Amino acid sequence: MSDASIYLKAAEALRANPAQWAAYESKGHCVVLAGPGSGKTKTLTVKLARLLSEDIQEPRGLACITYNNECARELETRLAALGIEPGRRAFVGTVHSFSLTQIVLPYAKAADMGLPDEFCIATRAERRQALETAYKKVIGGRENPQLLDFTMGTYRRSILNRNSTEWRETDPLMATLVEAFEAELRAMGRIDFDDMPLLAVRALREHEWLQRAILAKYPVLIVDEYQDLGRALHRMVMGLCFSTGMRLFAVGDADQSIYEFNGANPQLLRELAARKDVECVRLRLNYRSGSKIVEASNFALGEARDYEAAEGAEEGTVYFHPQQGSYEHQAAEAFRTVIVDIAKRHPDLEPGDIAFLYPAAWLGDKVAEVAQQVGLSVIRTDTNAIYPRASRLMRWLESCAKWCSGGWQTGTPRFNHLANEGARLFAEEINTPEMRLAFQRALMQCLWSRRDGTLVLRQWLSDVRAAIITDLIVKCRTMKDEGETLDTFIARTQPGKDCEDMTVSQFAGQSEGNDSLHLSTLHSAKGREFSIVIMFGMDQGSIPRNNSTASQKSEARRLFYVGFTRAKSEVHIMHSNLRPSPFVTELQNRLKLE
């Protein structure tokens, strides 16, 4: 089957949903407001395939910007199923990656960005050092400078114009600290992740020729999860799409905006969708959740929405489990009663169909400890996971481990996909057809001789690092922080450490696999779905936090809504009996009235 026929067949499936079809057929700027479980990723990827096949003439392409690497990976997987490999004409990646690889690296000198020659991305250790030095110069004292890192980042992302009165007068001390911190980074020959979109936006604003250069390469800009991407991306969109003529296709849901601390603002999406020169399409049907869960989700959100379960959906159920005692006790109770009752109702359910979602990673520790005691394995996607889930290098190595653990026989993952993904990781160095072929051969030689899932992971990782990764990290300015992440994890696999007994096959199952329970913060669960969701620790003080502002309470409610809408058939809400979250109390009361 040809690539064109694959996507056309997928497109036919959109016809049954008029809103999905309208998004697919859109010709100009289009914003798709997509509720939970509404098939937005399917719509987005099929639309992307159509744009590349019908609307954009080679060698031009399109840029697809996502919130994080997890989203990018999901899109790449779905595009591959439609016969499209990102990299040649389609950029798929985060706003940071787009800013760095498409604007900052190619045009730093020409756009006079004030960066040192051969600058690199700062590692976490280098950022800490720069902040400590800046703190001593600007503030002084014996406080821990790292305590200001979060506030500093928020200030950098919220006020983009450094020449404005707002930048100088809103918090003069913080403005001075930011400038001193960035000066220290430059003296070290470094930029950091927050620098990437800020430098890109500044350069685009100051140089019209740069806008035209980006337009020449990418006449279409796709943005996924628009509500989460913040002011820098919004400013970029406004300049590129409504000044130069780049076409915009954006997807998002203001009700799922949960990253205000990173500069996200749901109002930016609302304003974009309301523009007269933008076609706005709403996806109302929920294909994920049972009808009772869809109905109850309005109460969870605290605002009326007209979402409906798709025709033929099961009913779904919401359970409340008031608890007494410590969180350790509550976690034990979850396995003693809640999990046992779920298993009785769904005897064919696998552990991987169940997810524990919680407001903070330390609550996940309580659940993980009990799971270990009862002999159940878990996959964690929070800050206490065995490695940062945002690491592109670690996720790629995980895929390589999966290939070595039997994937080479089943074709999951395909070796060509592994090689292409690895080449994109190190694209700064692997930038010619000859280099890509040499990388592919070296990777095959390395993995072919290590096709054994029972191998001890520490040796496998060390061998793959030495054979494939070490030289590339040295040569690639963008990968040093990833190398630090890998080294930190390899240290955890050494004798006496917590991952010393891990095998290659166990490492390969850290992202997926139906024999392990999923443990995730509410934030990290966004974009995912599970048959059963257990919302653990839904207490006042955790969601929302004590002394929250009105804005923070609104975001906490949206976070509660995001967790609630991950479920297909059952939602279980566990809370302390004497201090339930007000969102839980309101939801209970509303459901009783129905």
Strands (E), 109-208: 120-121, 190-191
* Structure-token pair, residue 96: 């940071």
- Amino acid of residue 231: R
- Amino acid of residue 181: F
The annotation status of 317 as a binding-site residue, yes or no, is: no
Report the C-alpha dihedral over residues 233, 234, 236, 242, rounded to 10 degrees: 150
Residue whose C-alpha is closest to residue 566's, from 530, 541, 523, 522? 530
The three-class DSSP label of residue 499 is: coil
d(CA 243, CA 236): 10
The annotation status of 263 as a binding-site residue, yes or no, is: no
Q: What's 285's DSSP letter? A: E
Enumerate the β-bridge partners of residue 535.
357, 573
The annotation status of 239 as a binding-site residue, yes or no, is: no
Angle ∠(477,479,482) on CA atoms, nearest 5: 150
Beta carbons within 10 angstroms of residue 108's beta carbon: 19
The annotation status of 37 as a binding-site residue, yes or no, is: yes
Compute CA distances 66 → 12, 63, 72, 465, whole Å.
25, 10, 6, 28
d(CA 364, CA 357): 8
> Beta strands 308-309 and 378-381: pairing type?
unpaired
* Structure-token pair, residue 239: 């300049």
Q: What's 509's DSSP letter? A: T
The annotation status of 40 as a binding-site residue, yes or no, is: yes
d(CA 262, CA 257): 11
- Decide if 199 contacts 99 (C-beta within 8 A): yes
Q: Is 37 left (phi over 0), alpha (psi -120 to 50) or beta?
A: left
Contacts with 114 (C-beta within 8 Å, 6 or more apart), sequence order: 186
> Beta strands 530-535 and 517-521: pairing type?
unpaired
d(CA 189, CA 212): 29
Q: Number of helices and strands (H, E) in the chain?
A: 28, 16
d(CA 212, CA 217): 9
The three-class DSSP label of residue 574 is: strand
The annotation status of 34 as a binding-site residue, yes or no, is: yes
Return the residue matching tokens 């296709």.
249
- Decide if 535 contacts 573 (C-beta within 8 A): yes
Binding-site positions: 34-41
Binding-site positions for ATP: 34-41
